[in-house]
Amino acid sequence: MNSTPPTAAPDWERHRAFLAVVREGSLSAAARALSVAQPTVRRRIEDLEREHGVVLFMRSPAGLLPTAIALELAAHVDAMAKAAQSFARAASAEAGAATGTVRITASEVVGVEVLPAMLADLQRLHPGLIVELGLNNSRENLLEREADIAIRMVRPSQDALVARHIGAIRVGFHARRDYLDRHGHPQTIEDVARLGLIGFETETPGVRTLRAKGLSFGPGDFIFRTDSDLGQLAAIRAGIGIGVCHVALAAREPDLVRVLPDAFEMAFETWVVAHENMRHVRRVRLVMDRLIAGLTTYAS
């Protein structure tokens, strides 16, 4: 790398273009993500390479591959992007105002199927609130302010976080009523696999938890496979087979039937979590209180 420091302040638009190409894998996809023209992205990447005297990307049949130095730099630019997003949220309103932006991170199913109704009620009361919702089964880092509030099914251990336990979200086997009418109602866990099981493609923490409970199913046992929890839920609703979903969620839908409730159930202890410095910000407190109340009802 060129050891001569640049004479001008870093151009954030160049860094945004660089990070977009790393994430998207091509100039055209990065241009779409940034809502700019492809030649603009190319020029910004070329300017960045010339400024620092490095090659950032290599062409391949799969698209643009970041070089080793690009991967190292991407971590720093990613941190810059998160800091900029956190700054924008913090500056969106005064700490005592019921307006401004709050970012929540939650799993796919909780974020799509459970939270929107709660947030709609809240925003009717406080129309100045803006909610960002990150759907992510991995955990965004609250200490680094990647989100303001997180819904977690693992108790946080960091001292700087404030966590409110809302109870346990139970999951179990479910299927459409007409699917069971056609194929029969299973009497044992072994029957579930025989009648048609919806499951995963790859090993995940959730899958390892199932294995610890004695369910030794693998991809070869499934008639429908996806690692997306929303994909599995959609397959259950479509009548493809028997799958695992939230008991409370299925109870809302008359067409879904609980299968073998006495033989299989898992309970995921759940917390609403925020950074301790953010709980006194009114917009964050309003959202957190609403989620605690709504999720406590959902879990119970």
224 and 250 fall within a common domain? yes
Token pair in block for residue 117? 């109704």
Provide the domain count of the chain.
3
Report pTM.
Answer: 0.67
83 and 112 fall within a common domain? no
**Cα gap 106→146, rounded to integer Å:** 12
262 and 277 fall within a common domain? no
Query: CA nearest 254: which of 237, 267, 268, 270?
Result: 237
Q: Is residue 3 part of a domain?
A: no
pLDDT in tens, the chain (300 residues): 444 444 444 577 888 888 888 888 888 898 998 888 999 999 999 988 888 888 998 888 777 888 988 888 888 887 777 666 666 666 655 667 677 888 898 999 999 999 999 999 999 999 999 898 988 766 555 445 577 899 988 887 766 678 899 999 999 999 999 999 999 899 988 888 888 899 888 766 666 666 666 666 766 788 899 989 999 999 999 999 999 999 999 999 999 999 999 988 889 999 999 887 777 788 889 999 999 999 999 998
154 and 77 fall within a common domain? no
**Cα gap 18→77, rounded to integer Å:** 8
Q: Is residue 1 part of a domain?
A: no
**Cα gap 66→45, rounded to integer Å:** 12
Token look-up 């809502």 returns 35
Token pair in block for residue 125? 């009361």
Cα angle 85-89-90, degrees, rounded to a multiple of 5: 115
CATH of residue 41's domain is 1.10.10.10
291 and 149 fall within a common domain? yes
112 and 125 fall within a common domain? yes
54 and 35 fall within a common domain? yes
Task: Name the residue range of residue 177's domain.
Answer: 169-268
